[in-house]
Structure 1
Amino acid sequence: MKIFHGTENANIQKPTVLTLGVFDGLHLGHQRIMQTVVERGKAVEAVATAITFDPHPRAVLHPESAPPLLQTLDQRLANLEVLGIEQTIVIAFDREFAQKPAEGFVREILHERLQVKEVHLGKDFAFGRGRGGNIELLRRMSGELGFYAEEVPEVRLRGHRISSSKIRQLLSEGKINVARRMLGRPYGVEGVIERGAQRGRTIGFPTANLRPHNRVIPKFGVYATATLVEGTWRRSITNIGIRPTFEKDAEPSIESYIFDFDGDLYGDVLRVRFLHRIRDEHKFTGIDELRAQIERDTDQARNYFRRPGVKNMLEIL
C-alpha cells in the first residue's frame, strides 16, 4: 500500500474511488466502507483510496473531550492495507485545515488532485468548515464534477450501532467479547518489553512487561490472551493493573506470562490480543497466595484455549 502524508505529496497517476474518515479501530462498520471502496475500485478500474486524519479532529478543536484512540496511526495504516486499500493519504489535521471550506476541498483535492470517480462515506461523517462536507454536499457537486457519491449503510450488532466510542466503553468495562464482535477481531495492544522487578520469574511465572503504545487499555484484571512471539501467536495470560500485592500507587502495567516459552524478549516490540476475561485484579496476602492464584488462572486459561473455536481462532489471528 502506498502512504502519502498530505495531499500535496500524493503522486496520483490514476483515478480513485475513495472514502474519508478517522477510522479509529477499523471496526465492522469501517470494514464495510473499505470493502465497498475496494470492490468499486475494481469495478471502475480506479485506485481504492482512504483519506484519514491525524491527530483526531476533536483533539485539535475540543481537546478537553478528545477520545483516546483505539489504534496508533501505524496500526491503522497496517489494517487498511489488510483490508485491501491500495493507497492512504494521511492529512495532518490542524485549525487551518479545519477552516477550509468543504466545497474547496471537494473541488481542489478530490476532483482535481485525486481524480475521484466515486466517494463512499460512513453514516453522518462530515468534514470541512462547519462540518459542511457531508453526503448531501457531495451529491450536489457530483453532477457538476462528474463523480458518484453514496453513503454506506451502518453496521449494527444485535440492534446496537457499532462505533469506536462504544468499543472504548466496552473495553473500559472489561467486556472484551462484545468489543471483539464489534471489531471483527480481538482487541490488541502493542509496545516495548521492559525489564521489571522479575518477581514472576522467582515464583515460576516469568512475565513480559509491556509498555503499551496504545492509549486504550482494557479494565484492570486477568485475561486469556494471544501474544505474537517471533511471528507466531502463542497462548498467554495477561494481568493489567497496579500490582497491589507488592506496590502502592504504582503505575498501571501490562504483564504477560507466555505459556511454554522461556526466551529473552527485552527490548522487543510485542503484540497482545485479549481473548477472554478471567477475573478482576486482587490484592493477596503474600507470594504463596499469589502463586496459587496464578496457577488457577493458568489452568482456567488452558481450559479456555482447548475449546475448538478458540484453537481455530489462534491459528488464523
Structure 2
Amino acid sequence: MLVLRGVKTPAPSATVLTIGNFDGVHLGHQALLARVGQAARACGLPAAVLTFEPHPREFFDPASAPARLTTLREKLELLQNYGADLTCVSPFNTVFAALTADEFIEQVLVRCLRVRHLIIGDDFRFGARRAGDFALLQAAGASLGFQVEAMESVVQGGERASSSGVREALAAGDMARAARLLGRPYSIDGRVVHGQKLGRQLGFATANIRIKHNPLPLTGVFAVSVTGAAGRPLNGVANLGVRPTVGGQLQPLLEVHLFDFDGDIYGAHLSVSFLHKLRDEMKFPDFNALVAQIGQDAEAARAFFQR
C-alpha cells in the first residue's frame, strides 16, 4: 500500500476514494472499504483512503477527545489488510481545519487525490464548521467530473457499528460486544522492551510492551492471544494499565505472561488480542498479595481457554 503524507503531492493516478478517521476499522469501515475496492476494480483504479492525524477531536478539544482504538501504524496496517491500495494521511492542523468545503473539494479531493469516484459514510461532513455534506459533494462532482455515492451504516446484532460503540464496549469490559462490532477481537500492537524484571522475580515472566494509546480504551487483566512471539498464536494473561502496586506510572504498560513459553522475544513486535476481561486493575497491600492474585489470574485465563 502506498502512503502519502499530506495533501500537497498529487496521487500517481486518478482514484476511487473514501474519507474518514477509520479509528478501529470496525465492520462499518470494512463494508465501506469493500465497496471502494469493488468500485476501484470496476474502474481499473486504485482504492484510496483519506484519513487524518491527529483525530479532529484531538485537535479541537484534546481534553475531551475519545481514547484512540488504533495508533496510526495499526490503522494503516488494517486499511491495507482490508483492501486499500493508497492511503493519504493528512495532518489535521489549523490550516486544514480552516479549509472551506469548496476548498476541501478543489484542493484535496480533485487536485491531490484526483478523485474519480467518491464513496462516503451516511454521516460524513467536511470543511470548516462541518459545512459540507452529501448534496454539496454531488453538485461538485457533477461539475468537476467525479461520481459520489453514500453507504448506509452497518448494523450488527441490532447495533450500529461505530467507533464510539467499540469504545463503550471496551470501557465496560465487554470484549464480546467489541469483537462483534469490529468483526475480530480487539488488539493492541507493540514492541517488547526491557522492564524492571519484576514479573520474573515473582515467578511470572512477562513481555513488557510500551504503548501509545493514552488515554487507554481499556484497562485491567485479560485472557489474551498473542501473535509475533512464535510461529503460532500463544495464549496468555495480560495486565494493561499503570501498575499501582509497584508505584504506578504515568505511561501505560501492557504486560503479557505467555503460557508454556520461555523464548527470548525482546525487540519482537507483538499483536495482543484481548479475548476476555478477568478483573479491573487494582492496588494490593503487598507483593505476596500481588503474587497470589497473579496466580489466580493465570488459572482463570487458562480456564477460559479450556472452555
Residue in 1 that maps onto 2:256:
256
Change (3 A) 1:96 1:230: same
Confirm or deny that 1:56 pairs with 2:75.
no
What aligned pairs does 1:5-154 form with structure 2 within 5 A after superposition?
5-13=5-13, 15-154=14-153
Letter in 1 for 2:256: S
Once the two structures are superposed, residues 229-265 of structure 1 have per-residue CA deviations (whole angstroms, 9 ceiling, x without a partner) of 1453211111234445x43445554221101111223
> What is the count of residue pairs matched by the alignment?
305
CA distance in 1, matches of 2:77, 2:262: 29
Kept after mapping to 2: 8 A contact 1:207/1:258: yes
Residue in 1 that maps onto 2:182:
183
Q: Structure 1: 5+ residue runs without aligned partners?
A: 308-317
Change (3 A) 1:43 1:99: same
Residue in 1 that maps onto 2:298:
298
Letter in 1 for 2:113: L
Equivalent residue of 1:232, what SS?
coil
Kept after mapping to 1: 8 A contact 2:11/2:114: no
Once the two structures are superposed, residues 106-127 of structure 1 have per-residue CA deviations (whole angstroms, 9 ceiling, x without a partner) of 2343234433221111121111
CA RMSD of aligned residues (A): 2.3
CA distance in 1, matches of 2:78, 2:43: 24
Kept after mapping to 2: 8 A contact 1:70/1:216: no
Kept after mapping to 2: 8 A contact 1:12/1:113: no
Kept after mapping to 1: 8 A contact 2:224/2:235: yes
CA distance in 2, matches of 1:115, 1:11: 7
Residue in 2 that maps onto 1:240:
240
Change (3 A) 1:79 1:158: same
Kept after mapping to 1: 8 A contact 2:125/2:132: yes
Kept after mapping to 2: 8 A contact 1:194/1:211: yes
Residue in 2 that maps onto 1:214:
213
Equivalent residue of 1:4, what SS?
strand
Q: Structure 2: 5+ residue runs without aligned partners?
A: none
Change (3 A) 1:24 1:241: closer
Equivalent residue of 2:213, what SS?
coil
CA distance in 2, matches of 1:108, 1:249: 47
Residue in 2 that maps onto 1:225:
224
- Runs (4+) of structure 1 moved beyond 6 Å? none
Equivalent residue of 1:239, what SS?
strand
Kept after mapping to 2: 8 A contact 1:174/1:218: no
Residue in 1 that maps onto 2:273:
273
Change (3 A) 1:150 1:293: same
Once the 2 structures are TM-superposed, how far is the Cα of residue 291 of structure 1 from its aligned partner?
4.2
Once the 2 structures are TM-superposed, how far is the Cα of residue 287 of structure 1 from its aligned partner?
5.1
Identity %: 40
Change (3 A) 1:12 1:197: closer
CA distance in 2, matches of 1:34, 1:236: 32
Once the 2 structures are TM-superposed, how far is the Cα of residue 225 of structure 1 from its aligned partner?
0.3
TM-score, normalised relative to structure 2: 0.89
Equivalent residue of 2:195, what SS?
coil
Equivalent residue of 1:29, what SS?
helix
CA distance in 2, matches of 1:231, 1:79: 21
Change (3 A) 1:285 1:114: closer
Equivalent residue of 2:233, what SS?
strand
Kept after mapping to 2: 8 A contact 1:173/1:218: no
Kept after mapping to 2: 8 A contact 1:237/1:258: yes
Kept after mapping to 2: 8 A contact 1:26/1:76: yes
Change (3 A) 1:151 1:266: same
